[in-house]
């Protein structure tokens, strides 16, 4: 089979021929149809994070495809089903977080495309208990980003505990933000999209935003307060500066949901938090149940990602497209 492989942190993705893997105990083998390209994959390939993956590595944690083989003991899925292989590839099931139903915070996790080979290959293996079942009505091209960017933003909107018709601010209209706007709109919230420049206004309204705030010409916090204050702000852009500028736009008891990853500090004073009883909350990825919940909601509501596609052989080019920031808005590899 063909696989896109990172051999070192300084080398680009290379296409290799590899043996087709066999599923082990509790595993399934998936014939991959599509594999989304996420910035986390790029961080893995570059070794950007403190805990670095072991090379060589097949990246990819947005793999979608058809189950074509079952390992011993698998009963949850069947041959012929379409499934998504997510970032959280497994958990030990015994640590204090797992027994509380918080597998995302497992102390001995498996991360797809980081601690084990991922979906940038024609066949992949996965823990059967951690894959998401993909509805037949969702195209596998759409399903791939929905199992990462989709579930992250969907769950963040749910966790923000917003009431009907409340204002929800979405900072950034990118791979995460364009989905966050759609989800918040479908939940029945008034969405204030926040981005740089006036060019994004039309797209924001098309995605479901009620209001658009140009952060280059407006004070974001003041603009949100003119709307009554945001009960929640989803910070999807990886910019701590934009998060800091938005905090005073929160309504009383408002919550800043941090989704975009930035290593710089968010600047906020205790007075800002105390006087408005405001909360800043980080939001991680998903459990298997979250993934399926997101896919079912997307199926019913019509939320879909905006994507660009590349064949597997052009995986390195797809990486460059994502790094350039010009992709509209998620990149998906096809087999």
DSSP letters of 175-197?
A: TTHHHHHHHHHHTTPEEEEEESS
Binning pLDDT at 50, 70 and 90, where does residue 297 land?
very high
Say which residue, 104 or 293, is predicted with more confidence: 293
Phi then psi for residue 241, to 5 deg, are: -60, -45
**pLDDT for residue 60:** 97
**pLDDT for residue 166:** 95
How do 123-127 and 27-37 pair as beta strands? antiparallel
Judged by average pLDDT, the poorest of 31-35, 160-164, 273-277 is 160-164
**pLDDT for residue 237:** 94
Report the mean per-residue pLDDT for the chain. Answer: 95
Please choose, from the candidates 95, 116, 85, 91, the residue with its C-alpha nearest in 3D space to the C-alpha of residue 104. Answer: 91
**pLDDT for residue 101:** 85
Binning pLDDT at 50, 70 and 90, where does residue 208 land?
very high
**pLDDT for residue 251:** 97
Phi/psi region, residue 10 (left: phi>0; alpha: psi -120 to 50; beta: rest), is alpha
**pLDDT for residue 81:** 98
Question: Are the C-beta atoms of residues 7 and 14 closer than 8 Å to each other?
Answer: yes
- In sequence order, what are the residues at sequence separation of 6 or more whose Cβ sits closer than 8 angstroms to the Cβ of residue 300? none
Question: Are the C-beta atoms of residues 147 and 64 closer than 8 Å to each other?
Answer: yes
**pLDDT for residue 325:** 86
**pLDDT for residue 65:** 98
**pLDDT for residue 149:** 94
The neighbour count for residue 39, using CB atoms within 10 Å, is: 19
47-78 residue pLDDT tens: 988 899 999 999 999 999 999 999 999 999 99
**pLDDT for residue 259:** 94
User: Is pLDDT at 161 greater than 90 in this prediction?
Assistant: no
Say which residue, 124 or 325, is predicted with more confidence: 124
What is the average pLDDT across 142-156?
A: 95
User: Is pLDDT at 321 greater than 80 in this prediction?
Assistant: yes
**pLDDT for residue 283:** 84
Domains of the chain plus CATH, in order, are: 2-133+305-334 (3.90.180.10), 151-282 (3.40.50.720)
**pLDDT for residue 24:** 97
Please choose, from the candidates 292, 168, 304, the residue with its C-alpha nearest in 3D space to the C-alpha of residue 224. Answer: 168
Helices H, strands E: what count in the chain? 11, 17
Please state the pTM of the whole predicted model: 0.95
**Strand partners of residue 311:** 334
């Amino acid at each position: 089979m063909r696989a896109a492989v990172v051999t070192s942190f300084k080398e680009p993705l290379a296409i290799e021929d590899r043996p087709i893997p066999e599923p082990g105990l509790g595993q399934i083998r998936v014939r991959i149809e599509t594999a989304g390209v996420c910035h986390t994959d790029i961080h893995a390939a570059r070794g950007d994070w403190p805990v670095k993956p072991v090379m060589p590595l097949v990246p990819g944690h947005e793999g979608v495809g058809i189950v074509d083989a079952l390992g011993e003991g698998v009963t949850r899925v069947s041959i012929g089903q379409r499934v998504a292989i997510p970032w959280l590839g497994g958990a030990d099931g015994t640590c204090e977080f797992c027994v509380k139903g918080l597998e995302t915070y497992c102390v001995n996790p498996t991360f797809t495309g980081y601690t084990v080979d991922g979906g940038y290959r024609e066949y992949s293996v996965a823990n059967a208990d951690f894959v998401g079942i993909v509805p037949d009505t969702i195209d596998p091209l759409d399903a791939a980003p929905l199992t990462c960017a989709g579930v992250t933003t969907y769950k963040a909107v749910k966790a923000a505990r917003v009431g009907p018709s409340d204002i929800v601010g979405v900072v950034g209209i990118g791979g995460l933000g364009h989905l966050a706007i759609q989800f918040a709109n479908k939940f029945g919230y008034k969405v204030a999209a926040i981005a740089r420049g006036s060019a994004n206004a039309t797209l924001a309204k098309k995605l479901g935003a009620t209001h658009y705030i140009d952060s280059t010409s407006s004070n974001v916090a003041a603009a949100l307060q003119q709307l009554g204050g945001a009960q929640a702000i989803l910070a999807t852009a990886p910019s701590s500066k934009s998060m800091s500028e938005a905090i005073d736009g929160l309504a009383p008891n408002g919550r800043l949901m941090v989704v975009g990853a930035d290593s710089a500090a968010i600047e906020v004073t205790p007075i800002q938090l105390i006087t408005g009883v405001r909360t800043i909350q980080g939001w991680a990825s998903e459990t298997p149940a979250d993934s399926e919940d997101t896919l079912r909601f997307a199926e019913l509501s019509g939320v879909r990602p905006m994507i660009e596609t590349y064949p597997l052989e052009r995986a390195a080019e797809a990486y460059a497209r994502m790094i350039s920031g010009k992709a509209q808005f998620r990149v998906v590899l096809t087999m």
